[in-house]
Amino acid sequence: MSKTILITGGAGFIGSHVVRRFVNRFPDYQIVNLDALTYAGNLENLKDIEQKDNYIFEHGDITDDSFIKNLFEKYRFDGVIHLAAESHVDRSITDPLAFAKTNILGTMILLNAAKELWKDNFDGKRFYHISTDEVYGTLGETGLFTEETSYDPNSPYSASKAASDHFVRAYGETYGLPYVISNCSNNYGPNHFPEKLIPLCINNILTKKPLPIYGDGKYTRDWLFVIDHAIAIVLIYHEGKNHETYNIGGFNEWQNIDLVKELCKQMDEKLGNEPGTSEQLITFVKDRPGHDLRYAIDATKLNKELGWYPSVTFPEGLSQTIDWYLENKEWLDHVTSGDYRNYYEQQYKV
């Protein structure tokens, strides 16, 4: 194998798409997928590649220092693509310490392991840290987040990701560690755990449950199709400049209420419902604390320097996403019932 790359969080939503793309596109790379298999890690996401010769799964926690040291010694990684993170804002409000442990301490343990392994020769090595646009805080009705926007996190989740970004940069400045960082907007697409807005609403429409919308529904997000994100990650890993940050966005802002109405419209069409049927399930609920009004990414740097641009419009990507959930109801049933957790025991006999 020409390279051995560690991908953390590779059984999760975004991570599984990144793992699949690397495994399929680069058969001469050894891809090691490390995941703790918490509630959002699901090996069923990767059933189509689990028998590939260049794919290895390792079950472990990035906060386990001795495990990570041994893993780096075992595989002698040439690169790290770090996606493992606690990522749901609502959960961070309930349990902020869990986010500090995974997102800050876990990142530092990985940085230390990479630094020690590569300290004698950084040539051909790269630590790629995937972050979020939420580190920038909130926007008013105008403006965009750029790579120069000051950090201003407002939730325990975004604060923990901001801290991890700073540690990555600090290791670059202090030790010369070769790194790149990307900050992405809200992802959507196949395999998304149904606690996030789009898969939650798809599942609730199928089960005829309310569609909960925070506050007045006017919170605005930039939405990025997960496969386009995976394409960008592969590109940045190979062609991004060391010690640079790249913002990845969909050029695609939607208010939550408008997004849900578009989703309802498409669901009714695909399910053969009367127009407006699903919209009747929309229910406005109490707002969450510290809710950022608007995020919007300026991905011009990535577009101009590396030639990346989203491949689908939001209605197209949303249609593909809905189709995937309708065609994979067994996956959705396993996730919502918790049965997906049995797959690891069945597959790996532990």
| Buried-exposed string 291-328: b where 16+ CB fall within 10 A, e elsewhere | ebebbbbbbebbeeebebebebebeebbbebbebbeee
Annotated catalytic residue within 35, 61, 78, 134: 134
Q: Which amino acid is at 278?
A: S
Contact, 193 vs 9, CB < 8 A? no
Task: Report residue 275 CA to chain centroid gap.
Answer: 33
CA distances from 14 to 34, 67, 201, 265, 336 (A): 14, 24, 19, 26, 18
Determine the average pLDDT of the residues in 65-84: 98
Mean pLDDT score of the chain: 94
Q: Where does the pLDDT of residue 184 fall: very low under 50, low under 70, confident under 90, or very high at 90 and above?
A: very high
Pick the more confident residue, 232 or 93.
Answer: 232
CA pair distance 312, 233, nearest whole angstrom:
17
Determine the average pLDDT of the residues in 80-97: 90
For residue 336, the model assigns a pLDDT of 85
Of the given ranges (130-139, 150-159, 285-294), which has the lowest mean pLDDT? Answer: 285-294
User: 156-175 vs 106-118: helix axis angle to the nearest 10?
Assistant: 20
Examine the pLDDT at 350 and tell me if it is beyond 50: no
Percent of the chain with pLDDT over 90: 85
pLDDT (tens digit, 9 = 90+) per residue, 13-44?
999 999 999 999 999 999 999 999 988 899 99
Contacts of 156 (CB under 8 A, 6+ apart): 92, 93, 96, 99, 100
Annotated catalytic residue within 61, 78, 86, 133: 133
Annotated catalytic residue within 157, 179, 219, 340: 157
Pick the more confident residue, 252 or 348.
Answer: 252
The verdict on whether 157 is a catalytic residue reads: yes
Q: Where does the pLDDT of residue 347 fall: very low under 50, low under 70, confident under 90, or very high at 90 and above?
A: low
Q: Would the CA dihedral through 34, 67, 339, 84 be positive or negative?
A: negative
**CA terminus-to-terminus distance, the chain:** 28
For residue 90, the model assigns a pLDDT of 81
Examine the pLDDT at 303 and tell me if it is beyond 50: yes
For residue 147, the model assigns a pLDDT of 98
Cβ neighbour number for residue 28 with a 10 Å cutoff: 8
> By CB neighbour count within 10 A (0-12 exposed, 13-18 middle, 19+ buried), where does 114 fall?
buried
**Six-digit token string for 233:** 């990650």
Of the given ranges (153-167, 268-282, 286-300), which has the lowest mean pLDDT? Answer: 286-300
Determine the average pLDDT of the residues in 322-330: 96
Secondary structure of residue 146 in the 3-state scheme = coil
pTM above threshold 0.75: yes
Q: Where does the pLDDT of residue 291 fall: very low under 50, low under 70, confident under 90, or very high at 90 and above?
A: confident
Determine the average pLDDT of the residues in 156-161: 95
Contact, 37 vs 252, CB < 8 A? no
Of the given ranges (1-10, 28-37, 210-219, 230-239), which has the lowest mean pLDDT? Answer: 210-219
Q: Would the CA dihedral through 260, 266, 267, 269 be positive or negative?
A: positive
Closest by CA position to 229, among listed 187, 179, 181, 180: 187
Binning the chain into helix, strand and coil, the percentages to the nearest 5 are: 45, 20, 35
Determine the average pLDDT of the residues in 156-177: 97
Kindly give the residue spans of alpha helices, DSSP state H, lying in 221-341.
Answer: 226-239, 256-271, 300-306, 314-327, 329-337
The verdict on whether 134 is a catalytic residue reads: yes
